[in-house]
Structure 1
Amino acid sequence: MRSTGPITLNLPHFSGATRKLILIHLASFFGFLVLEWAARDIAHLLTGYVVLVPQSVFHGYVWQLLTFIFYPAGLLGMIFALLSLWFLGVWMEGTFGSRRLVELYLFTAVGAGLLASAISYTHIFGLRQDLVAAGPWPAVMGLMTAFASLMGDSEMYVFFVIRMKAKYAVAIFILLQLATVIQGGDRFGALAELCGALCGWLYFKFAPTRGVVFGASERYFGLRNGYYRWKRRRAARKFEVYMRKQNRVVKFDEEGRYIAPDDERRDPRDRKWMN
């Protein structure tokens, strides 16, 4: 049974996929700092390709849907985001495994970027297509919402100071971002975080138990195998018509496999002879 106790301030183990995600963020953060110091013009040029800009996304810069969460967006925000990723990521990885943690993190990032970019075209609340979003908070909000959906009565520390139930903490974060979207400030960034929270909830509400990637691959191979079976049955029917014109009778099973005359009396449940 899952524990409903609070996530304490004791630092969890720094390992697995959680460590890799955090190290990627840190490498990106310090890499951009060094580049900004050593080659400011190149840093500004690269920034335009990495951050999330709706009009760029819909003009072919689709990689921004993923890269924008790895662009540093302020020291304090980065610290809190990575600490949240550390605490929540370790729990998620220990409960569901490394693959599903990474899948959830990237799914919420891409989903948040795509939804926020699409909504910006409605121009609601003063949103525009040339606004910019960057930083890991949309993906972290997805983790927080997923945790609250699964362990809503568990207690966590908001800003590592205030202790409250996860569902209330996430509700407060969502209301704060919603207020930012309505009242002003970093509207597009707040919208991306709201979309990240929505994607995190959708993932654990509707995603297959083994994850989206596994479910999609299973569905793909199921459709592919079904198509091959249909082609085999169609070829079998055509061959039967051809053989009848030659005054010969041939038989195929329901999957289009040839049945030799000596095998017709075999138990239909015996599939040892199938290729």
Structure 2
Amino acid sequence: MSGFIDDIKEAFSRRDNGLIQLILINVFVFLGLLVLQVSFSLSGKESYYTLVLDQLALKPNPAHLLYKPWTLLTYCFVHQNILHILFNMLFLFWFGQLVQEYLGSRRLVSLYMLGGLVGGLTFAALYNLVPLYRHWLDMPNVGASGAVYAVMLGAATLLPNYTFHVLIIGPVRIKYIAAFFVVVSFAQIPGSNAGGNITHLSGALFGYLYIRMLRRGTDLGQPVEAVLDFFKRLFSREPRPRMKVKYRSQTRTTYTAYSTTAEEFPDDDEIDAILDKISKSGYESLTREEKQKLYKASQKN
């Protein structure tokens, strides 16, 4: 048991491990709610579980949002059945790996959080504005799907021709996988899970815009990173370094997708060597630096 706890502590202490941390948080919340649900059910106090869930689930009712604004974020860590969390976490793992590999852990976390927030806000807004949905203002919305769709579309926008090997079908480019699920969600808007599908689509749209803006030099995730840094410093036991003021000339740096500093494009010899390595050992044999160089070369033209 102590070994398991040590592994969990290590997962949360490691830097650039945002993907695993997001998955673990979702799993822990699911298991915690499952224990509460079973416990309250056995004791005949099911209403207590409903009360707990009401503190975490998102409802478009304005009064609920006014008094429980945190539910705009907590809902995307809540799942109520095993298949729901299983598929969401599988998709988050598959597509999140690509985003983390090329953009880093911090931007993956920002994309997830903002995708969930935008999905929740859009869900709440449409349920209050569209007459068809107004009698469902107390309909709870839970699940990471909006955040996961943001990550999926982010990965598909970042690397549209990257190939996944889909069971039975074979190799499929991720832009087609993302397009398929977006179309399915759009087609199901008139159905019983309209709120969930609205959340999917708005999260997907944000994921697309996030990468497009990032390529133009605007990082929409900076506010999230600033908040996370604040809480990290707040709970950190390490002494704060003394502030030093340095003056430097104002120089403009060129944006890169995977680094905050300007770097030159890799030369043709480097790219040829990377392509030779892919032909011999496959794409997965590349190091993170080689993948980043290959991606940057693809942005050159």
Q: Is the 8 A contact 2:107 2:221 kept in 1?
A: no
Which amino acid in 2 is paired with 1:68? Y
Residue aligning to 2:122: 115
Distance in 2 (CA, whole Å) between partners of 1:66 and 1:156 is 30
Shift of 1:150: 1.4
Q: Secondary structure of the residue that 2:120 maps to in structure 1?
A: helix
Residue aligning to 2:60: 54
Q: Is the 8 A contact 2:154 2:211 kept in 1?
A: yes
Q: Secondary structure of the residue that 2:161 maps to in structure 1?
A: coil
Distance in 2 (CA, whole Å) between partners of 1:62 and 1:200 is 23
User: Counterparts in 2 of 1:92-241, with a 5 A limit?
Assistant: 92-123=99-130, 125-126=132-133, 128-157=136-165, 162=169, 163-182=171-190, 184-207=191-214, 209=217, 211-214=219-222
Residue aligning to 2:266: none
User: What are the superposed Cα offsets for residues 64-97 of structure 1, whole Å, 9 maximum, x if unpaired?
Assistant: 1100011113211211111111122222112111
Higher mean C-alpha deviation, range 208-217 or range 133-142: 208-217
Shift of 1:123: 2.2
Structure 2 segments unaligned to the other structure (5+ residues): 1-15, 41-45, 227-301
Indicate yes or no: 2:37 matched with 1:36: yes
Which amino acid in 2 is paired with 1:170? A
Higher mean C-alpha deviation, range 160-169 or range 130-139: 160-169
Shift of 1:17: 1.0
Shift of 1:16: 1.1
TM-score normalised by length of structure 1: 0.67
1:192/1:215 Cα in 2 relative to 1: closer, same or farther (>3 Å)?
closer
Structure 1 segments unaligned to the other structure (5+ residues): 1-14, 219-275
Distance in 2 (CA, whole Å) between partners of 1:138 and 1:216 is 17
Q: After the TM superposition, which parts of structure 1 deviate over 3 Å for at least 4 consecutive aligned residues?
A: 124-128, 160-163, 207-211, 213-218
Q: Is the 8 A contact 1:54 1:129 kept in 2?
A: yes
Distance in 1 (CA, whole Å) between partners of 2:168 and 2:117 is 31
User: What are the superposed Cα offsets for residues 160-216 of structure 1, whole Å, 9 maximum, x if unpaired?
Assistant: 55442212211111111111112x121111111111111111211224747335379
Residue aligning to 1:67: 74
Which amino acid in 2 is paired with 1:143? V
1:216/1:195 Cα in 2 relative to 1: closer, same or farther (>3 Å)?
closer
Q: Is the 8 A contact 2:85 2:143 kept in 1?
A: yes
Q: How many residues align?
A: 202
Q: Secondary structure of the residue that 2:67 maps to in structure 1?
A: coil
**RMSD of Structure 2 on Structure 1 (CA):** 2.4
Q: Secondary structure of the residue that 2:205 maps to in structure 1?
A: helix
Report sequence identity in percent.
28
Distance in 1 (CA, whole Å) between partners of 2:55 and 2:148 is 22
1:150/1:124 Cα in 2 relative to 1: closer, same or farther (>3 Å)?
farther
Highest Rg: 1 or 2? 1
Q: Secondary structure of the residue that 1:181 maps to in structure 2?
A: coil
Indicate yes or no: 2:84 matched with 1:77: yes
